Amino acid sequence: MTQSKKDGATPRRYDPAYQEQAVRMWETSGRAAEETARELGISVFQLYDWKRRLRGDRVARGPRAAAEPALPEDKAELKAEVMRLRLEVERLTEQREILKKAAGILSEPPRRGMPGSKP
């Protein structure tokens, strides 16, 4: 005995432009497919399938593989990319340090006389 689909349960359809944009976002972000799919509200398997159909990939990579963007050919473009990446690393390092300090402050026990502290 087989069960039929519930009434009204139709699969979502995404236009090819959205599929292309989702695959491009995943490939250029450097993040895991699972993370990108979760952000877009789709199945990771759907993302892999779109990539396979759009890019003509025959062999699927591991579930955590992210496509590497192509490197610029021009030396000036490479220098600009290195500078951009260095600035991004610096910014992310600053953010991480701020978060570490905030976590340290929030984990400290409250001082006497502060709301919620015992006298």
Tokens linked to 1? 């005995």
Tokens linked to 10? 């139709």
pLDDT of residue 1: 44
CA distance 105 to 99: 10
- Whether 41 is in a domain gets the answer yes
Q: What is the pLDDT along the chain (119 residues), one digit of tens a residue?
A: 444 555 566 777 888 888 889 898 888 888 888 999 999 889 889 989 999 988 775 554 545 555 666 777 888 989 999 999 999 999 999 999 999 999 888 888 877 766 665 65
**Residue from 51, 26, 48, 50 nearest 36 by CA:** 26
Looking at the fold, whether 58 and 19 belong to one and the same domain comes out as yes
Domain, as residue range, for 87: 71-108
pLDDT of residue 108: 81
Q: What is the rounded end-to-end Cα distance, in angstroms, of the chain? A: 70
Give the number of other CB atoms < 10 A from CB of residue 30: 11
Looking at the fold, whether 76 and 57 belong to one and the same domain comes out as no
Global pTM reads: 0.40
Tokens linked to 25? 């976002």
- Whether 34 is in a domain gets the answer yes
